[in-house]
Amino acid sequence: MNQDARRQAPAAARNRDPILAVLREVLPPSGLVLELASGTGEHAVHFARALPGLVWQPSDPDADARESIGAWRGTEALTNLLPPVALDAAAPLWPVETADAVVCINMIHISPWASTEGLMAGAGRLLAPGHPLVLYGPYRRAGHPIEPGNQAFDEDLKRRDPRWGLRQLEDVRACAKEHGLVLERYVEMPANNLSVIFRKR
């Protein structure tokens, strides 16, 4: 694997440790974690290195992203980091049939709503009762004025693709509930983001 294929996202370096702190609290001590929309692969490498009891399965629908994930994996040589798989959250069938946790970072606002529906349906299929789905990203919340930075980000996303944009947390919660996933809590994160933890009923 060509190391030059490694891509970098500045936000990943900034948010990986705050996200890791949440993951340490909510993930099981062992088992398989499926990460959707792994992007560059930087999160997968960081989390697999920090959580050696877990096997990390990165995935992404984009071939260039999977190449980057594979390149990062090749330089790190982590035995608990699996090769990336092609997975579109909106697809009715996933290439992974079971997982002890599902993690999805910064996907919901940069994808059509069908991807959120597919994410919830897939997590509902894969997870056993009590196991977590962990989301991270910016959200709108009822009764909570949207921050100016998030407002500008939302407008930019919608200009790029009208199907994108910050979702109402209440809508995401309702979609999750349809698939047996119950909101446990959310954690305020830096830069006006949230970590949102669901559990399979």
User: Domain containing 71: what range?
Assistant: 3-200
The answer to whether the beta carbons of residues 31 and 98 sit under 8 Å apart is no
Report the pLDDT value the prediction gives residue 2, as an integer from 0 to 100. 59
Give the residue from 15, 82, 85 showing the smallest Cα distance to 45: 82
DSSP per-residue letters across the chain = --GGG----HHHHHHHHHHHHHHHHHS-SSEEEEEES-TTSHHHHHHHHH-TTEEEEEB-S-HHHHHHHHHHHHHH--TTBPPPB---TTSSS-S----SEEEEES-GGGS-HHHHHHHHHHHHHHPPTT-EEEEEE--BBTTBPPPHHHHHHHHHHHHH-TT-SPPBHHHHHHHHHHTTEEEEEEEEEGGGEEEEEEEE-
- What distance in Å separates the CA atoms of residue 10 and residue 12, rounded to the nearest whole number? 5
Low-confidence ranges of the chain (pLDDT < 70): 1-3
Say which residues have a Cβ less than 8 Å from residue 88's Cβ, sequence separation at least 6. Answer: 61, 115, 118
pTM higher than 0.95, yes or no?
yes
Domains contained in the chain, number: 1
The CATH code of the domain that includes 175 is 3.40.50.150
CB 51 within 8 A of CB 28: no
Residue 3 has a pLDDT of 60
Nearest residue to 190 (alpha-carbon basis) of 130, 149, 131: 149
How distant is the alpha carbon of residue 180 from its chain centre? 18
pLDDT in tens, 107-118: 999 999 999 999
